[in-house]
Amino acid sequence: MPVYRFDPLQDPRWPEFLERHPSASMFHSRGWLDALRRTYGYEPIAYTTSPPRGELANGLVFCRITSWLTGRRLVSLPFSDHTEPLTNGEDELPYFLDFLEQDRRRENWKYIEIRPLRKTVQRSGGFEKSTSFYFHRIDLRPTIEVLFRSFHKDCVQRKIRRAEREGLVYEEGRSEALLTKFYQLLLLTCRRKQLPPQPLAWFRHLISCMGDSLTIHVCSKDDRPVASVLTLGFKGSLVYKYGCSDPRVRNLGGTHLLLWRAIHEAKRCGRHEFDLGRSDLNTPGLVIFKDRWGATRSVIDYLRCSASPIPDARPGWSARIEEQFCARVPDRFLIAAGKMLYRHFG
């Protein structure tokens, strides 16, 4: 059975296929792929067993990354929490993985990585677990009242009520003014986490490519932004992709109010799931925060087919030096570091 390659940004079959396939997500969409291409120069490519003139029956989408720093590799997909292989039945995926292992050897890729949600994806074709994350999602099918009662009484319900009493001003949209407020808060959050922010161009391209499926939510107190989240909608799912806040006024409950408003909007649009995204296993505070929203927690295992043994994921001395750098440098240098580095680490 031959495997064909095609460009999902150009092939007219791809959008229609995503509408049909039950496991398709926002990360498979043309908007997400185009934003990756415009910002970082990654080249999208998809694999299928369907012939060029036939209707797509399956598809695995990747980005080709060429970096002098981190090597040539194939990733499904960069900066994406998960990218489910869009196959049918349990027999198709091992066939694709065997083909990809051969392709890695032919093309001399450093590695190929997939990020499936399904635990039924077993190791095959030389693919082994590279890293793991927690994944949270909220079932939005219950009524809004039932959802509210499922939240932690002290850490979520009271925070939402506190934010409402504080009279926080809520805004949503995709304007440059809202993006500026979001990015200012993102800088504060990245500095607290000792990481450089993704470049502003990434978010501008997301707004341009994702259209009205993207929403920036901001709440302010006395004209001062205190929290912001960025969500992306696709079919029945709403994805909480980015969140940031001013730590000096975290007690106001701004992030809680924004997520509650996003849940209301998702319910109004008929969405059945709120995807809270992945969390590092070593970030217990973030994991507990998501647990308290009544979310279901699972584990995502990323799988990698590599030319060499998968390195130990524990941070070393270089990571500690980077953290000290990010904690001390002025904003302009932190932003410049993000522009320079992120394209190498998708």
Q: Would you give per-residue pLDDT tens digits along the chain (346 residues)?
A: 899 999 999 999 999 999 999 999 999 999 999 999 999 999 999 999 999 999 999 999 999 999 999 999 999 999 999 999 999 877 888 889 999 999 999 999 999 999 999 876 655 668 999 999 999 999 999 999 999 999 999 999 999 999 999 999 999 999 999 999 999 999 999 999 889 999 999 999 999 999 999 999 999 999 999 999 999 999 999 999 999 999 999 899 999 999 999 999 999 999 999 999 999 999 999 999 999 999 999 999 999 998 876 665 544 434 554 666 676 778 888 899 999 999 998 8
Q: Is residue 286 part of a domain?
A: no
Strand partners, 296: 137
Q: Is residue 329 part of a domain?
A: no
Domain that holds residue 220: 142-271
Spatial distance between the Cα atoms of 121 and 85, rounded to a whole number of angstroms: 9
Q: For residue range 53-69, what is the model confidence (pLDDT) as tens digits?
A: 999 999 999 999 999 99
Q: What is the CATH number of the domain that holds 64?
A: 3.40.630.30
- 188 and 264 housed in the same domain: yes
Spatial distance between the Cα atoms of 81 and 280, rounded to a whole number of angstroms: 11
- 153 and 211 housed in the same domain: yes
- 309 and 201 housed in the same domain: no
SS (H, E, C) 107-151: HCCCEEEEECCCCCCCCCCCCEEEEEEEEEEEECCCCHHHHHHHC
- 102 and 148 housed in the same domain: no
- 122 and 146 housed in the same domain: no
- 25 and 119 housed in the same domain: yes
How many domains does one find in the chain?
A: 2
Q: Is residue 290 part of a domain?
A: no
- 116 and 178 housed in the same domain: no
Q: Is the dihedral of CA 197, 200, 206, 212 positive or negative?
A: positive
Q: Is residue 31 part of a domain?
A: yes
| pTM of this prediction exceeds 0.85 | yes
- 167 and 129 housed in the same domain: no
Q: Is residue 319 part of a domain?
A: no
Q: Is residue 288 part of a domain?
A: no
Q: Is residue 343 part of a domain?
A: no
Q: Is residue 341 part of a domain?
A: no
Identify the pLDDT of residue 325: 65
Angle (nearest 5°) at CA 94 between 62 and 28: 25
- 95 and 168 housed in the same domain: no
Spatial distance between the Cα atoms of 346 and 168, rounded to a whole number of angstroms: 36
Nearest alpha carbon to residue 338 among 37, 35, 40: 40
Tokens standing for residue 281:
């296993």
- 149 and 124 housed in the same domain: no
